Amino acid sequence: MIMIYKGSCNCNQWQVEVEVTKPLGDFNPRSCDCDYCKNSPSVIISEPNMRIDLAGGEITINRNGDQLANFYYCDSCNDLLAVGCDLNSQLRGAVNANLLRDANQLGKTIEIQPRLLSADEKIDRWGRLWGQLNGV
Ligand SMILES: [Zn+2]
Ligand SMILES: [Zn+2]
């Protein structure tokens, strides 16, 4: 079964549509404990079957400490939209769960520590965890 969840950033410049094969309640948002993410706290969700469609205006792209992943922000309200990177020439990523209107249905948040992983381990993990990211 395919379910679609929608949302937007704070200023509404960016619309988010997430297509998943399980309800939001089955997702545990992931909160990263690195310095970069502690400075701009957010929780993200993804799974390989997820399709994330972003549509909007201008975007700001930041890279975190090890330069592997892109952090996509609305350039107007600075909300994090998604995290992503190119894996085998496909853009993959995870969406900011708090953008979704039904974010209150989400499962329990878990803390992750990707800073403990090597670059190769991260890429490997994202390949197994991230969905398909469109529109950025
Ligand atoms: Zn915005
Ligand atoms: Zn982090």
Tell me: domain 3-134, CATH 2.170.150.70, correct? Answer: yes
pLDDT of residue 94: 98
User: Which structure tokens are listed for 14?
Assistant: 């960016």
Q: How far is the CA of 24 from the centre of ligand 2 (A)?
A: 22
Report d(CA 59, CA 73) in Å as an integer.
6
Question: What distances in angstroms separate CA 74 from CA 24, 63, 96, 104, 130, one per listed residue?
Answer: 23, 14, 12, 22, 20
pLDDT of 34:
82
pTM above threshold 0.85: yes
CA of 74 to the centre of ligand 1 (A): 5
Distance 95 CA to ligand 1 centre (A): 14
Cβ-Cβ contacts under 8 Å for 113 (sequence gap 6 or more): 32, 33, 34
The model's pLDDT over 90-101, given as tens digits with 9 standing for 90+, comes to: 999 999 999 999
Name the residue with tokens 């197994």.
Answer: 128
Distance of CA 8 from the midpoint of ligand 1 (Å): 8
Whether the per-residue pLDDT at 41 is higher than 90: the answer is no
